[in-house]
Structures are given as structure tokens and as C-alpha cells.
Amino acid sequence: GTARRNEALMTPEKKALMLVAAVAELIQEAGQVPSGHLYMALMTHLPNITLEMYNNILILLENEKLITNKAHLLTWVGPKPAEVKK
């Protein structure tokens, strides 16, 4: 289908950025999440994600001061999600 065709056209860099954004968004929405739980959840949807890729994403998010990782508990410390207007 169209989704498959669009995915095939994506550069590895674009795929990587989308993955980083998805992980950041999940942590932001949760506020706090155990790292192992998040990794397992990601693996069920993205079987190609390796532990090394996941750890590199967490390092990137930490370096950007968006999360903290204390005792494997990921906490969002970046900007608050935008309020949804009703």
C-alpha cells in the first residue's frame, strides 16, 4: 500500500529522527516510565530496534536535557505538552 511505498522512500536519517521523536513523545506523555518497560513496549511495535539504538536515543534525549534517567526510571524534564483546547 501507500504506507509501505512512503516508508521505502524515507532516508535512514528521517527514520532515525522519527524514532527519536516517538520515544521522546512516549516519555513526555507518561511523565515517568521505567526504561525496561518502555523498551519492551517499543520492541513489540518495532522489532528491528536494538538495545544499542534505544540506549543511544536515551543518551541523546538526556544530552538535550529533555529527560533524566535515574536508576532506570525515565523522567520527562523538557517542555510540558501543549494543552489541548476543547
Answer for the pair 81, 69: CB distance below 8 angstroms, yes or no: no
Q: Residue 3 pLDDT more than 70?
A: no
Band of pLDDT at residue 80, cut at 50, 70 and 90: confident
Q: Residue 74 pLDDT more than 90?
A: yes
Tell whether pTM > 0.85: no
Query: Contacts from 66-73 at CB under 8 Å and sequence distance 24+?
Result: 66/24, 66/27, 66/28, 67/24, 67/27, 69/35, 72/34, 72/35, 72/36, 73/32, 73/33, 73/34, 73/35
